[in-house]
Amino acid sequence: MGMAVFSAGSICAENPQSTVKTSLSSGNGQGTWIVALSALSAYLKATTNCQATNSKVVATSKSIVKNANATTSYTKAVAIFNWVRDKIGYSSYSNTRYGALRMLSVKKGNCVDTTHLLIALERASGIPARYVHGKCRFSSGTSGHVWAEVYVNGKWYKADAVSSRNSFGTMNNCKILSIYSKSAALKF
């Protein structure tokens, strides 16, 4: 029996619970399988500090997308990222203080709370997003840091909205030294 090679299909970010056709080939031939993509469902759910289903969060997400004339998953994800990066100020403190919902009114937070808001707005638009916790080197020194990864068109994009130096998919504000975890929710 030959070695199997799995080629994943693409996911529709508007409906990540959808199924896609994928190809499976081996030494014995090739076939098409239908695969459920429920593995991404955790990255769409609301959590304690990521209130993605709250009516204010949903309305804000819809407004951002509408005002940007965003129609594709990618343009929606970028519009939401840009809004958070450009509208939310930075404040230095540890762990969660506000969560996504309160960040809409406070409009200033650390990397954790800014990421709660970014992820909640992405999820409210049907775009899977997850937390990344790692150790980074900044111009001011080395410390723990939290940022998002957003899933669009079969790819996870880095999304660190705490610095105007960053863009969707690119982190210029720091050098990632190590990654501690990637998860659907944070415990802190």
Listed in sequence order, the residues at least 6 apart from 139 whose beta carbon sits closer than 8 Å to its beta carbon are: none
- 45 and 34 in a single domain? The answer is no
Rounded to two decimals, the pTM is: 0.82
pLDDT value at residue 20: 38
pLDDT-based confidence at residue 37 (cuts at 50, 70, 90): low
Whether residue 24 is found in the same domain as residue 86: no
What are the pLDDT digits (tens) for 88-118? 999 999 999 999 999 999 999 999 999 999 9
166 plus 141 within the same structural domain:
yes
Residues 17 and 100 in one domain: no
pLDDT at 38: 72
Name the more confident of 27 and 72.
72
14 and 67 fall within a common domain: no
**Full residue range of the structural domain in which residue 79 is found:** 41-183
Residues 97 and 131 in one domain: yes
pLDDT, mean over the chain: 86
User: Tell me, what amino acid is at 129?
Assistant: A
Tell me: do 66 and 80 sit in the same domain: yes
More confident residue, 30 or 109: 109
Note whether 36 and 76 are same-domain residues.
no
- Selection from 124, 119, 87, 92 nearest residue 106 by Cα: 87
Same domain? For 49 and 34 the reply is: no
The reported pLDDT for the residue numbered 39 is 82
Q: Are residues 91 and 114 in the same domain?
A: yes
The CATH number for 71's domain is 3.10.620.30
Residue 7 has pLDDT above 90, yes or no: no
Task: Say how far apart CA 5 and CA 178 lie, in whole Å.
Answer: 30
Residue 15 has pLDDT above 70, yes or no: no
Domain check: are 78 and 24 in the same one?
A: no
| Residues across the chain | 188
Q: pLDDT tens digit string along 120-148?
A: 999 999 999 999 999 999 999 999 999 99
Q: Which two tokens stand for residue 82?
A: 């840009």
User: Positive or negative, the Cα torsion across 78, 103, 93, 46?
Assistant: negative
The number of distinct structural domains making up the chain is: 2
* 188 found inside a domain: no
